[in-house]
Structure 1
Amino acid sequence: MSEFEKLISQERISIERFVRFKIFVKEDAEDILQNVYITAMQKFDQLKNKESFKPWIISIARNKCNDYFREKAKLLELPVEELLETKIIAGRHGFTEMQSVQETLEKLGGKEKQILYLYFWKEMSQEQIAEKLGVPLGTVKSRLHTAKQKFKENY
């Protein structure tokens, strides 16, 4: 067994614990661990003090985890031009582009706009909407269903 293999077998649990603590997706953690081991093996001859193997390989693992998070963050980035053109709003159903939503709402009738506004933006329950509008609960449910369908068709 080579010196590298001995050191890896001694520190394997620490390395795997470190990566799995940082990366929750099991498959991604395994990929990162594989990259850590490959990088460590390729650069092992650059390690001057073999007694500092553990901090050295943990730093490789930390860098690989940081690379993973950088890649994930790139998927969430939006170009600045798009941010200037549209607003992104957060609601109970996730993030939405405000411009597209407003354009779609303009295509709907007054009752549909009103019911969607109260339900999604004001986050009122159907019972609260019925009370506010002075209509039966069944009417609110029916209008909300119809408004959602029309919105979906126009969006």
Structure 2
Amino acid sequence: MIDERELIAKIAKKDQNAFQTFFYIYKNRLYYYFYKLLENQEDAEELTMETFFRIYKNAGTFRGESKVSSWAFGIARRVYLEHLKEKNKSIKTLELYEGDAVSEDSPINEDVELVRKAIEKLAPHDREVLFLAYYEELPYEDIAKVLGIPVGTVKSRVFNAKAKLKKIIEEMSHERG
């Protein structure tokens, strides 16, 4: 098993092999994070590369107080927020569920589509906290570090986001009949 902390220490010393290993471990996770927030392949690729550039450049700043994944997603989040400011774009749909194995006209696929549309209606910070908690499966402590907020606030945001999502789904279900 690869010790990610050791990889970061080697990257801090500009070890190209360590960086390449780290890249292969995280490239899909970081790309998916950006793609689900932006729904734009080109932007997701650009922000993924920018994140890796910053990881390489700032590896020496990793203090080991959190998981490497939390640190990497913290950098990714800052890159994402800077991108939003620069481009003045709004966050698009965050899809937490995939319906690939389900036929298009099945009731399950309809439910998946309902959840996708409901998630789309959530505020950006609600989508992000649900993504980190349920898709990335980060513990609340790590989410707090990524978002730069207290753990209690993370718990509150997850609880409130789930409640909002439930309410939206119920409203959409009633509209659907």
TM-score with structure 1 length normalisation?
A: 0.42
- Asked which structure has the greater RCO (Cα within 8 Å, sep 6+), the reply is 2
TM-score by structure 2 length?
0.37
Greater Cα radius of gyration, structure 1 or 2 = 1
